[in-house]
Chain A
């Protein structure tokens, strides 16, 4: 049986990098991996999703509704949008960070401020974490993704990998320390 992870967020948030590091770590653990990234128009502020499946042998690259063992959301309403993909008993990790889409900015749609409260009532395994706040505190919004990676690693118990060591292959040297701190902070948030 494969384990299914769904990463969701908004274009430009660093989801692709996070999925690359995650996949490299899973490969180190000897798993077969399939990963699916739908780009398309994502760069223009649309929703971005990456699906990662790992196990002894993985066939289909994608994850259907109610098939995700774990969802990591970089943004509040994206968690809401992805909720139908969560398996019963699965885990949702979401940042409480908010990014308003154009229909919200122009007043054509409303941003549901209470999304997390509603989700908390429905989902048993929900972790709301302040990854973006932590990134801001560390002085670089771009480490939000690695903070979330730390949280995910904790939830999935993927401790057999030297994740901080792996980061060196994926982030510029001058940002390495910051990324390690972000990872540790995320890990501690669960």
Chain B
């Protein structure tokens, strides 16, 4: 059998292919992004980046009801956006199988929270499957499609960062024939009017009971008998930590199908061991169920709810394995926070904003521009979730106005965030005639998550030509008059200042669109290759003005500024605009 080293995300895509899945939609978000990127490379699969997680899931639901095995993927907070269709499809059920991948992020490696999405399975009344490594990612996806069809239920497939981005050997099988289940009209099943929904709820409760029976005997839930002194109940990545710490010494109930939980199996296991540990990352999802069955157990009293687990944490909490002292030296490594790239268009925007701090107070959002929160820009006061950077301004402006705060409130979103949910926020701003500045930082790509195309692109993820949505035309179409709308190059500091001046001068909504592509876009990088700035040491007086923009290509040495890393410099010219002594020039133009 062919074995390949695969990440969990690659294995999920492979599993979907082997299962005959032929439709996939997703919205990017770490750690889930590579799932759709890998699916897009498979010819038999129609894969799409959606504008947000809700539309992604709705597309997939449409395909599943229509008769194609389909998959939607998103990061954990994305499921909040898609919760509405998830709860609806929990009642309607599917036709062909539907798998919804949620990639949770314990430890907040790249997220705003650590929410444990297993609870969504209870809320939406859908099946829940949790793999523990790449091999299981592939195998369980196939099983998930089978469960989905057999029990007419969507399956929530829950992975975590450590599973998505870890690699292991995976045994490959043949890609499957595309599954097509003929579409049959069935309005009482698919139209969730109250009369139908009441009936479907009853049907769902019945099918969940049947699925629980199945869960008791499914190969996804298995017992590895060891000593009966200690029994460990676990799921997902925590199984690996349990094995690492306890090896084959303890008995382990490894759960892979975790909603509905196999209560008979849990009772059988827990009744056969002297002591019970429940090892799980995040919330006490399994532990609560074990306790509800009348067993006392050790779990979240010893293992933290917060943060990501690892074998050491589990070993220290449950097996008294405390590490001895390791190596240390007296100096500390200076921090290395992520920063805006050399040439990043967001840098010009944030410098302009900083200069107008007395007049403008800003709300941020999620994207590369989130990096503008740090020094030296300290660019905004809040960032919560995608879209809030625009809608939040409406309430914030009212609150500041009541307190006599004269500053104008500004909100910002990136182009992908604008398409995600910023557009509905902007409609709110305009319709509310809110006294705010709405900025769309359009760098022509979804940058933060690793450069996915979005609705503003003229190619889709599979390389097909598609009509690009014109952001400026769209906003004009909302009725924003020309004198309330500016399109500027954010690296042109003068134009940026003029736009902000105009925005502050009027009362009511004002829209600024900053337009300049991300420097990491391949074509842009190619065009910039060989171009860089240089500082004339004779003209440089060492005033450090150019270092205020915090460009990683620059350094200050021996009382002079230098372009320390010409290879990363793009000759964006921002430092030239900062210099009053004409000491910086461009090379390679």
Q: Residues of A with Cβ closer than 8 Å to B?
A: 10-11, 20, 23-24, 27, 32-47, 58-62, 64-67, 77-78, 80-81, 83-88, 100-112, 114-115, 118-119, 121-123
Contact = CB atoms under 8 A, between A and B. Distances in A.
A42 B110 CA distance: 10
A35 B323 contact: no
A38 B326 contact: no
A162 to B, nearest CB: 18
Contacts of B564: 100, 105
B244 A112 contact: no
B165 A36 contact: yes
Given A59-B243, A60-B241, A46 B337 contact: yes
Contact of A65 (B312, B334, B375): B312
12 contacts: A10-B336, A36-B166, A37-B167, A38-B109, A44-B338, A45-B341, A59-B241, A61-B168, A62-B166, A103-B334, A110-B334, A119-B329
A45 B339 contact: yes
B473 interface: no
* Residue of B30, B133, B166, B328 ringed by the most chain A CB atoms within 10 A: B166
Q: How large is the interface on B (under 10, 10 to 19, 20 to 34, 35 or more residues)?
A: 35 or more
B340 interface: yes
Interface in B530-589: 547, 550, 552, 554-556, 564
Contact of B5 (A23, A59, A66, A86): A23
Contacts of B334: 77, 101, 103-104, 109-112
B167 A33 contact: yes
Contacts of B487: none
Contact of B333 (A33, A46, A112): A112
A114 B331 contact: yes
A35 B168 contact: yes
Contact of B547 (A60, A78, A106): A106
Contacts, number: 175
A140 to B, nearest CB: 12
B330 A59 contact: no
B368 interface: yes
Interface of B: 3, 5, 7, 30-31, 109-110, 133, 161-162, 165-169, 237, 240-241, 243-244, 310-313, 323-324, 326-341, 368, 371, 375-376, 448, 450, 520, 547, 550, 552, 554-556, 564
A43 B451 CA distance: 11
B311 A64 contact: yes
A41 B110 contact: yes
Nearest to A110: B334
Contacts of B243: 59-60
A122 B333 CA distance: 16
B30 A60 contact: no
Given A27-B5, A105-B555, A105-B556, A61 B240 contact: yes
Contacts of B324: 66, 88
Contact of A84 (B5, B133, B326, B340): B326
Contacts of B161: 38
Contacts of A61: 133, 162, 166-168, 237, 240
A174 to B, nearest CB: 17
Return the 9 tightest CB-CB contacts between A and B, nearest first: A64-B312, A61-B166, A44-B338, A40-B110, A109-B334, A66-B326, A81-B333, A46-B338, A41-B338
A103 B331 contact: no
Contact of A59 (B240, B338, B376): B240
A23 B167 contact: yes
B178 to A, nearest CB: 31
Contact of A44 (B237, B335, B340, B554): B340
B401 to A, nearest CB: 36
B310 A62 contact: yes
Nearest to B315: A64
B339 A40 contact: no
A78 B332 CA distance: 10
B241 A118 contact: no
Given A37-B165, A62-B310, A86-B326, A106 B331 contact: no
A136 B269 CA distance: 61
* Residue of A77, A87, A105, A107 ringed by the most chain B CB atoms within 10 A: A105
Given A46-B337, A86-B327, A33 B310 contact: no
Given A64-B313, A88-B324, 14 more contacts: A20-B5, A34-B133, A37-B166, A42-B338, A47-B336, A58-B168, A60-B243, A61-B237, A80-B333, A101-B337, A102-B337, A103-B337, A105-B547, A106-B550
Contacts of A83: 326-329
Contact of B162 (A36, A58, A81): A36
A104 B333 CA distance: 11
B5 A103 contact: no
Contacts of B327: 83-84, 86, 88, 122-123
Contacts of B329: 80, 83, 115, 118-119, 121-122
